Amino acid sequence: MSWVIGALAVTLGIVFLWGLFAPRSQWRTLSAWLVSNPGAHEPSGAAYGWRRFLSGVGVLGLLVVAGSAYSADLARQPRPGPPVTAVEQMWGSPTPTLVDRAVSPLDAPPAGFVDEPILGFQRFDDGRPEYLRALSAFSILGDANMPGYVGSPGDGTVSPVGASNLVVNVRGPLLCIPRQVVVLESETAIQIAVYYGLRDPLTGAAPDHVAGCPLEGVVTSSVLIPIELSGPVGERVVQNLAGNAVPEVAVVE
């Protein structure tokens, strides 16, 4: 149906433009055959002027209709979202929060927690990126010091992130917290695992972390966890405990 309307508009546009710039030619082509003596019945100059005026009004009307249709089509187009920040280019949306704590890694997997996949890492061989200073600290419902939360907050004067050699990115269930980190270093590889669980209860038995923090959780939060190594990453590969390489994320300024 839209092509029919478009063809009709083009046809009317041609007729109106013809009448605007060559009203005499239009009359001779479209109307002269209706009379036996076209020369004797040719319209006056005033009639041609009126035809020219009406054709001009028709052209303007078509332009107004076309402009309105174009504006309406633009309004229906999906509007672009807000500009993607450098942090979102690196780690995706929403912006991750930071585990601003001194993490003491284990050298063996702990029992009873959930091994969350590591989605990427970023090295600090050339100094810590400035964007980390602007990230919000990880918390749940405003609480940034949950019982069982991995690491320690330090003395409050210097961010523990300053001593780290890299950060890893994980997405854990919304109401669960990073509980433990495992780091195994060698001359050629750095193997890392991050374990999630529920916070420790103030009283009573420990909760079932595996049941409470399913890997298939629909609602998750993105977290960056700083890790201090025995030395720079250098040429070593970063892997999970299964030996699979973890993607490296370049710094975007």
Q: How far apart are the first and last CA of the chain?
A: 50
Output the CA angle 103-104-105, nearest 5 degrees.
Answer: 105
Domain assignments of the chain as residue spans, ordered by start: 2-76, 86-239
134-157 pLDDT tens trace: 899 999 888 888 999 999 887 666
Provide the token pair at 40. Answer: 């004797």
Local confidence band at 190 (pLDDT 50, 70, 90 cut-offs) = very high
Pairing of strands 220-227, 189-197: unpaired
86-117 pLDDT tens trace: 899 999 988 999 999 989 999 999 999 999 99
Spatial separation of the C-alpha atoms in residues 251 and 236, rounded to whole Å: 18
Provide the token pair at 63. Answer: 């332009």
Spatial separation of the C-alpha atoms in residues 187 and 195, rounded to whole Å: 24
> Residue 78 pLDDT more than 90?
no
